[in-house]
Structure 1
Amino acid sequence: MSCIDIILKFSILYYIVYTFNIVYLLLNRSHKNKNYLNIKKSINNKYSLWIIIPALNEETVIKNTVNSLQHELHKLCKINNISANILVVDDCSDDQTFYEARKTSAYVIQTPQNNKHCGKGAVLNHGINFINSICDHKVNNIIGVIDADGVMKYKDFYNIIALYDDNKNKYDMIQSAVKMFNTKNIVEKAQDFEFGGLNRKSQISRNNYGDGIASGNGQFVTLKMALDVKWGNSLLEDMEFTLNGLLKGYHCYFTEDSVVQQQAVKSIKKYIKQRVRWCTGGIQCSHFLFALYKSKNVKLLQKIALTINALTPLAFIFINFSNLISLIIQVRLFIMNPQSNYSFFTLLLIWLLLDLGISNSYRLFINKTNNKKIQLIEAFYFSISFSIINLITFFIPIISIKNILSNNLEWDKTDHST
C-alpha cells in the first residue's frame, strides 16, 4: 500500500467521522436546549449589572462602545429592581484609551504598572476587585464581560437578568451567543458562520449533556463566582475560567436569546494572529483534564467533550493537512479518470448535504436576530468561506505548539482598530 493510498484512506475516515459529528447539527429546529429557561416578563429580585470592558490600545473604539452600551443600559435601569454600571479597565495603554474612556460616564481605572500587559485575565481580576470594593452587597451583583468592540442591546441584557431571576435556575454563569456586525469579505463571513453556526450549535449540545462554556465576549457571571474562581493568565482565559469553575461546582448556561455583536478581524493576517493565541491557550488548558476526570462535579459526557476540545488542535494538524492532500488527490483522480471515479462525487455529495444543513441552521439564527433576512444560498456562501479559511490555515496548531515549546506565551491581543 502506497503512502498516497494510506493518506486517502485516513482522509476518507476523517470524512466519515465528520459526517457523524455534523449529522447531530442537522437537527436545525429540534436541536434546542433540553433544559430551556423561560425568560420572565418581570424581575422579582434586585440586581446590579456591572459591565467590565477590558481595554488595551482601544482609543479608536472605546468611547463609541461605552456610549452605545450606556444608551442601552439606561433603558434597562428603567425597570424595577435593576441598576447598571460600566467599568473600563485600561491595561496601561500606549495610546489615548484611558483619556477617551474618561470622556464618558463610565467608571475608568487602570491596572497597576507592575501588573500591566499580563493578559485579559489579570485585567478582569483587577476590575472585579474594584467592583467588590464599591458595590452594594445586599443585591445580586452580575458581572458582564464585553470587549472594547462589543455591541449589546437592551433586550439582550434584560434576558440575561431574567434568566438569573428564574427560581429554577441553578447557573452561576450565562454565556450569550456571538455574531459579527461586519461581514463584507471572506474572512469576516467565515467568522460569522463559525460563531453563529458551528459554535452556537456546539454550545447547545454542551447545555444538553452538561454545561456551556464561556466564550469571553458576552460572558455574564455572578460576583460570588468571579471572586471565588478568578481568571487565570492562560491565552484562553475564558476556557480556563470555565474549567476552574466546573471543578469548584459552578455551572454555566448558554443562551441564544441574548446576542453580543463584535467586530470580525478584517484580514487573514489578523485572523491567524488571533487564532494562534486561542489555539495556544486551548492547549495550555489541557492540563485540567486529569482533574476533570477525577471531579464528581463534571458529567461524563462533558468530560469527553472537554477532552475532544483539548485534543482538537493537535488532531487538526493531521486532519487539515490530510484533508488538503485528499482534496488534491481526489481532483487529480477525477481528471485522470472521471467516468470510474465515484469517491470524489460521493464525498462531494456528502459534504454538500451536510453543509446545506448547518447553513440552514445558521440562516435561521441570523434571521431571528437580524433585521435583514438572508437566504439559504447566502448562508451557504458564508459556510464556503469558513471552509476555505479553515483549510488554508491548517498550520495554526503547529505554530501554537512551537510557541508552547519555546515558551513564547506573550499576550497578543486582537486588533479592534477601524
Structure 2
Amino acid sequence: MPDALRQFVEMRREGFLQLGGLISLALLCYMVLVFGRFLVYWAGSRHAFRHSTPATPGDPAALQWHLMVPCRDEETVIAQTLAGLRAVAPAAHLWVIDDDSEDATRDLVLAAAALDQRVHLVQRRRPHARIGKGAALNAAYREISAWLPPGTDRSRVVLGVVDADGRLDPGTLEQVCNDRAMGRPDTGAVQIGVRMRNAEDERPLPGRGRAANASARALVRMQDVEFQANNAGMQLLRRRTGSVGLGGNGQFVRLTALDSLTAEEGRDGRPWPERALLEDYESGLELRLAGWRLTHVTEANVSQEALVSWRRFLTQRTRWAQGNMQCLRYTGRVLRSRHYRPAGKAEVLYTFLQPVVCVLLVVLTPLSLAITGAGLALFPEETAGFQLRYGPWMALAFVLATLPMVFWGPAYRRLVHPGRRRAAGLLWGVLVWLYAYHLFVVATRAAVRLLLGRNGWAKTRRNAEKVALGAPTALES
C-alpha cells in the first residue's frame, strides 16, 4: 500500500471501524426483527391451520352462479376447463373472456357455446384488450349485468373467477354457499383453496434428463406445499383477523358487492382495478374497505397446473411481488378504516411490507460484506475480532430467517398425503425452507422494475406452450 494511502487510512481507522460496526449491528438487529416478525405470523398461521373445523355444505340452488374464465391464447386447456366446470356446476353460466387470442381459443369456445346455451363468449379486441386481467373481468361484469333480466335479485347472483386451466373440486359450490360463507348476507367474497394437480407427475419435462426432471418435480411439489399448507394457514389466520385476501383463481364475489364498488366516483362498470398487477388482492382490499366481509373456505379447492420452469416461475413471482409493492398505496386507507380491526390492520401491513423487508435485507447484506472485506484488508486484527464476536450470530439469523417453514412439510404430508412416510414430510419441509429464499430474489427484481418504471403485464405461459403467443402488454406507469 502506498505511504500516502496508508496514512489516509490510518487517520480514518476509528471512523471506518465505527461505520462498519454500526452497519453490521444494524443488519444483525434488522435480521432479528425480521425473524421475530415472521415467527409471530407463522405461529398464528400454524395455530389457525391446526384448529380449523369443517363447515356444513349449503344449497347452491339458493344462488345464481356465473363463472368467468379469462383467456388469452388458451387453446391447450380451454376445452377441458369448460367440460370440467360444467360437470361441477351443471346450472352455472360459463363466461369465457377472450382477451384477443391469437390461437384457436375463440373457435373452441364458440364450438362449446353451440352445444351449451349456458356458455357465453365475451370478445375483447385491441387496443382495449391485453391491458390486464382486471380489465377483462370488468368487461365480463358489464356483459353479465346487461344480460341479467330486469328485476333480478342481484344479492343472490355470485360471480366466480376461474383460471383457464382451473378445475373446481366436486361440491365446490355447496361449500362456497355454506353458512360461514355466501350463506351469510354480509359476505361479499369467498376465496377457496388452491392445489397443484401435476404434483405427482414423475416426468414434468418429457425428453429432458434426470437432473432437469428432479428439479422440476421439486419446484412443482414446493408450489403445492406452499398453496395447500403455508398459504392455507395464512388465509385461515386472515379469516380470524378479518383480512382474507382474494386470489386470481377460485374467488367468488357477490354481485351486489361488486355493484357497491362501481358506485364510487370514476369507477362506473369497473369493480376490479384495471392498472394493477395484483388485481385480485386489490379487489379484496377494496371490498373490505367498503365494509364487506371476506372469508376463506378450506373445504373446497380449485386445481391448477404448477409451473415446471424456474424462469417462468421467477417471472410470475416477480410480477406478484411488484403488485404487492403497488398495494402500499392502500396503507393510509387501511389504517384509517373502521372495517379493519387492529389485528387485521397488522396483518395487512405485514403483507404489504413483506417484499420491502426482503429488499432491505438484500441491500444491507452485501453492504455489510463489502465493509467487512475492506476492513479485513485494511484493519485485519480489529475486523476479525468483531466478526468472531458477531459474525456467527449474523449467519445464524440469516439461516433461521425462514427456518419455521420446515414445519409446513410435515403438515402438508398429514393433510394431503397421510400414507407417505414421515421422512417425506421432513424432506418437503427442508425444501420449502430453501424454496422460501426465492422471495429475496423476486422482491429485488420487482423493486428494480419499479425504479425503472417497468409496470408491464404479461401472461404466464402454460407448461404445454412452447413459445409465447403475442407480445406482452405494457401498462403505462
Q: Distance in 1 between matches of 2:230 and 2:366?
A: 21
Q: Distance in 2 between matches of 1:152 and 1:44?
A: 14
Aligned to 2:259: 227
1:268 pairs with 2:310 = yes
Aligned to 2:189: 173
The 1:390–1:113 alpha-carbon spacing in structure 2 relative to 1, beyond 3 Å, is same
> Aligned to 2:103, what secondary structure does the other structure show?
coil
The 1:290–1:155 alpha-carbon spacing in structure 2 relative to 1, beyond 3 Å, is same
TM-score normalised by structure 2 residue count: 0.73
> Aligned to 1:114, what secondary structure does the other structure show?
coil
What is the deviation of 1:18? 3.5
Residue 164 of structure 2 is aligned with which of 128, 137, 148? 148
Residue 248 of structure 2 is aligned with which of 216, 221, 245? 216
The unaligned stretches of length 5 or more in structure 2 are: 1-17, 202-216, 262-270, 373-390, 465-477
What letter matches 2:408 in structure 1?
A: I
Q: Distance in 1 between matches of 2:76 and 2:439?
A: 29
What letter matches 1:408 in structure 2?
A: R
What letter matches 2:111 in structure 1?
A: K
Aligned to 2:214: none
Residue 83 of structure 2 is aligned with which of 52, 67, 72? 67
Which is further off, 352-361 or 273-282?
A: 352-361
Q: Distance in 1 between matches of 2:411 and 2:281?
A: 25
Aligned to 2:280: 238
The answer as to whether partners of 1:51 and 1:143 remain within 8 angstroms in 2 is yes
Say how many residue pairs are matched: 392
The answer as to whether partners of 1:280 and 1:397 remain within 8 angstroms in 2 is yes
What is the deviation of 1:207? 0.8
Aligned to 1:305: 347
Residue 412 of structure 2 is aligned with which of 362, 365, 369? 362
What is the deviation of 1:95? 1.5
Residue 39 of structure 1 is aligned with which of 36, 53, 56? 56
Aligned to 2:231: 199
What letter matches 1:232 in structure 2?
A: P
| Identity level (%) | 22
What is the deviation of 1:349? 10
How big is each residue's C-alpha offset from its partner over 1:80-139, in whole Å with a ceiling of 9 and x where there is no partner?
xxx311110000012211112222232112124331101000000111111112235247
The 1:413–1:165 alpha-carbon spacing in structure 2 relative to 1, beyond 3 Å, is closer
Q: Distance in 1 between matches of 2:437 and 2:420?
A: 25
Q: Distance in 1 between matches of 2:153 and 2:31?
A: 58
What is the deviation of 1:13? 4.8
Aligned to 2:137: 124
Q: Distance in 2 between matches of 1:95 and 1:120?
A: 18
How big is each residue's C-alpha offset from its partner over 1:48-80, in whole Å with a ceiling of 9 and x where there is no partner?
111100001111111111112112223xxxxxx
Q: Distance in 2 between matches of 1:290 and 1:355?
A: 31
Q: Distance in 2 between matches of 1:383 and 1:188?
A: 14
The 1:135–1:141 alpha-carbon spacing in structure 2 relative to 1, beyond 3 Å, is same
> Aligned to 1:254, what secondary structure does the other structure show?
strand
TM-score normalised by structure 1 residue count: 0.83
The unaligned stretches of length 5 or more in structure 1 are: 75-82, 330-340
The 1:373–1:70 alpha-carbon spacing in structure 2 relative to 1, beyond 3 Å, is farther
1:27 pairs with 2:69 = no
Aligned to 2:210: none
What is the deviation of 1:21? 3.3
CA RMSD of aligned residues (A): 3.2
What is the deviation of 1:206? 0.9
Which is further off, 102-111 or 381-390?
A: 381-390
The 1:100–1:379 alpha-carbon spacing in structure 2 relative to 1, beyond 3 Å, is farther
The answer as to whether partners of 2:48 and 2:233 remain within 8 angstroms in 1 is no
Aligned to 1:93: 101
The 1:323–1:99 alpha-carbon spacing in structure 2 relative to 1, beyond 3 Å, is farther
What is the deviation of 1:37? 7.6
What is the deviation of 1:382? 2.8
1:313-352 matched pairs, under 5 angstroms:
313-319=355-361
